[in-house]
């Protein structure tokens, strides 16, 4: 199993790439007609 | 196999720990097509301030959907901040005017930095106006904006001052009361509100919500957790139908975003687990590719 710290994640993730995968996730929700998940996380 | 909609439907669990004035949240998510399963665990302990600890802690477990085996455990706060900013940026791409001069930031905490960088992925700006109840934090953030982003940055006199000058306004506070007067917003502004305070508190006033075309991450989430939307509904100022659409409707072009230069648009987000799952998958694969992280046997 891989352990990734905040420091590791800062090295790995750039905003443009995250936007791409997040957009694909929402497209998946839209295209599959899936019900949106319940509020299941927080921004703060 | 159950239907896809039921596969994707996940429930959030909250474990209250009243003797320590805290709670632990369990947030599962599954994206079938992209084969991403994640479980984020968040601890919210306001009294940690007295212990010199963060009030919020979070880890995320990324799981192999074929075997159920955990593939990675990672810091949840960075994942949350990145995916929240990414969602804001995607929404802004659909909702903000194409040409803008200034971005306003109310609440200069950790999220503001990510939010601003996200917005700058989709819109160029010359100036950033900043307001935080802590003046020092405003000033530090302004310095960071100048140094890291090379933009003009100015600390505003008040939240209303910043709100009135912004073409795009980021609101990222923990306030339980509205932080600015919606009457000061100029026509054509795009407001991105990501502060979370639950159904009984809000960072936006009713005027802001009523004046705006409202797009949310998910209706179900916002209508159960966001006082920014729930309070105006309870007041009778708006109905649920005032919500124009969800983010999935914009990205799939089922709904139009901005339709005129003058309309005020509002992005309200309380968070969506599938964005965690997608971001975690990206992090996991990049880590393997770049040999980053620590492998452990459990």
Percent of chain B with pLDDT over 70: 96
Least confident of B163-177, B187-201, B281-295: B187-201
pLDDT in tens, B282-295: 999 999 999 999 99
Residues of A in contact with B12 (CB under 8 A): 38-41
From the list B36, B34, B55, the residue with the least C-alpha distance to B46 is B55
B60 or B176, which is more confident?
B60
Q: What is the CATH number of the domain that holds B58?
A: 3.30.1780.10
Sign of CA dihedral B216, B218, B224, B225: negative
Least confident of B9-13, B218-222, B249-253: B9-13
Q: Report the pLDDT value the prediction gives residue B110, as an integer from 0 to 100.
A: 86
Work out the angle between the directed axes of helices B135-144 and B110-122 (0-180°, nearest 10). Answer: 40
Q: Report the pLDDT value the prediction gives residue A35, as an integer from 0 to 100.
A: 45
Tell me, yes or no, whether B94 and B132 share the same domain.
Answer: yes
Q: Report the pLDDT value the prediction gives residue B1, as an integer from 0 to 100.
A: 39
> What's the number of domains chain B is made of?
2
Q: Report the pLDDT value the prediction gives residue B140, as an integer from 0 to 100.
A: 97
Tell me, yes or no, whether B87 and B186 share the same domain.
Answer: yes
Neighbours of B132 (CB within 10 A): 24
For residue A18, give the nearest of B11, B83, B297 by CB distance.
B83
Neighbours of A6 (CB within 10 A): 13
Q: Is residue B297 part of a domain?
A: no
Domain extent, residue B152, equals: 81-271
Task: Specify the pTM.
Answer: 0.92
Tell me, yes or no, whether B181 and B41 share the same domain.
Answer: no
Tell me, yes or no, whether B53 and B93 share the same domain.
Answer: no
Q: Is residue B97 part of a domain?
A: yes
pLDDT in tens, A1-44: 999 999 999 999 999 999 999 999 999 989 876 444 444 445 54
Q: Is residue B295 part of a domain?
A: no
Tell me, yes or no, whether B281 and B240 share the same domain.
Answer: no
Tell me, yes or no, whether B247 and B199 share the same domain.
Answer: yes
Tell me, yes or no, whether B73 and B89 share the same domain.
Answer: no
Give the catalytic positions of B in this structure: 40
Which of B80, B110, B272 would you mutate first to test chain A, the one with the most A CBs within 10 A? B272
């Amino acid at each position: 199993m891989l352990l990734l710290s905040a420091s590791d994640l800062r090295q790995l993730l750039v905003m443009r790439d995250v936007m791409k995968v997040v957009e694909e996730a929402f497209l998946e929700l839209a295209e599959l007609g899936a019900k949106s998940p319940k509020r299941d996380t927080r921004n703060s | 196999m159950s239907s896809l909609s039921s596969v994707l439907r996940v429930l959030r669990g909250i474990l209250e720990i009243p003797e320590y004035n805290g709670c632990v949240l369990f947030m599962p998510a599954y994206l079938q097509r992209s084969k991403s399963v994640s479980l984020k665990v968040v601890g919210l302990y306001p009294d940690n301030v007295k212990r010199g600890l963060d009030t919020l802690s979070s880890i995320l477990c990324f799981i192999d959907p074929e075997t159920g085996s955990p593939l990675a455990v990672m810091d949840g706060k960075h994942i949350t901040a990145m995916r929240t900013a990414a969602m804001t940026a995607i929404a802004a791409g659909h909702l903000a005017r194409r040409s803008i001069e200034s971005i306003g930031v109310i609440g200069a905490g950790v999220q503001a930095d990510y939010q601003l960088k996200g917005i700058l992925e989709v819109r160029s700006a010359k100036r950033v106006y900043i307001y935080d109840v802590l003046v020092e934090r405003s000033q530090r953030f302004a310095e960071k904006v100048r140094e890291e982003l090379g933009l003009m940055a100015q600390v505003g006199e008040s939240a209303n001052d910043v709100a009135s000058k912004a073409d795009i306004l980021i609101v990222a506070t923990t306030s339980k009361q509205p932080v600015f007067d919606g009457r000061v917003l100029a026509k054509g502004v795009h407001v991105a509100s990501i502060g979370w305070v639950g159904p009984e508190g809000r960072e936006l006033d009713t005027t802001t919500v009523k004046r705006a075309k409202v797009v949310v991450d998910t209706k179900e989430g916002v209508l159960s957790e966001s006082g920014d939307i729930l309070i105006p509904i309870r007041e009778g100022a708006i109905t649920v139908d005032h919500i124009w659409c969800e983010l999935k409707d914009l990205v799939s072009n089922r709904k139009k975003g901005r339709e005129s230069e003058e309309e005020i648009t509002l992005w309200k987000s309380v968070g969506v687990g599938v964005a965690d799952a997608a971001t975690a998958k990206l992090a996991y694969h990049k880590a393997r590719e770049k040999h980053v992280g620590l492998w452990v046997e459990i």
